[in-house]
Structure 1
């Protein structure tokens, strides 16, 4: 699945503390499995790639309502 958007105050964000334990575990799992992320602006993505991403997102979203 692809994450569409997350808004985080980078200056104050921390994975420390009990409340972030699950997030820390997921970060470590993702790192161990070799995943990586890139930040890209939609305007910098070609139409073909953007269509492929939209189709993939529609497939895994199914009929669920977005937040």
Structure 2
């Protein structure tokens, strides 16, 4: 799996971090998403897909 984020779309809601803290974090200064792991293990698929679904700005894309 590959994860792509669009920082320009991110609104800093933090839903990604709540869903998959091992894969996503937020910058302290503005709350914009930080991708910690662009190729997480398959065991992380469910939380990563949940993070993408919960993102209000649709800033997360999950590829196979």
TM, length-normalised to structure 2: 0.28
Q: Which has the higher strand share?
A: 2
Q: Which has the higher helix share?
A: 1
Say which one has the larger Rg.
1
